[in-house]
Amino acid sequence: MPYSIAINEILPKLNEQPTYLKINDMDLLDANGNIVTLTDAQIKALTRETFRYDIRQRASEDNSLGRYVLYFPNKHFIYMHDTNAPYLFEKEKRALSHGCIRTQEIERICKYLIENNSDTSIETAKAAYDNKET
């Protein structure tokens, strides 16, 4: 998750409700990608200045990025993703993401990329998804 979202949106929710991450299937990660467990008091004490973590939402039907995410190396942290709320594709104004590209037919794109640019088979990719692997 981009640091700006963590600081501006998640941190205030954490300060109010220390169980926010657990309720939303999210993990707090250190700089090495290890899951960090903090006490409620430690969470409530976090500030913009002391927050040095990444936040990752675990794979689930409620993941706001949907089933698939395609990351691209770029300094703006922009990527393509699905959504867990497909009704959003019916809206006239669809700029509801944080600058990323919500992609309606991302499964077709993923299939194309796997079939044409990868040693991974579609079956292997689907098995990974079914097992909630990244």
> Whole-angstrom Cα distance, residue 90 to residue 54?
32
In a domain, 63, yes or no: no
In a domain, 50, yes or no: yes
pLDDT tens by residue, the chain, 134 residues? 778 888 988 999 999 999 999 998 899 999 999 999 999 899 888 999 999 999 988 877 777 778 788 888 888 778 888 877 777 777 777 666 666 777 788 888 888 888 887 777 778 877 877 776 66
> Whole-angstrom Cα distance, residue 115 to residue 72?
18
Contact 64, 100 (CB under 8 A): no
- The pLDDT, as a whole number, for residue 97 is 64
Give the pair of three-digit tokens for residue 89: 């594709």
* 83 and 107 co-located in one domain: yes
What range defines the domain where residue 88 resides?
Answer: 69-130
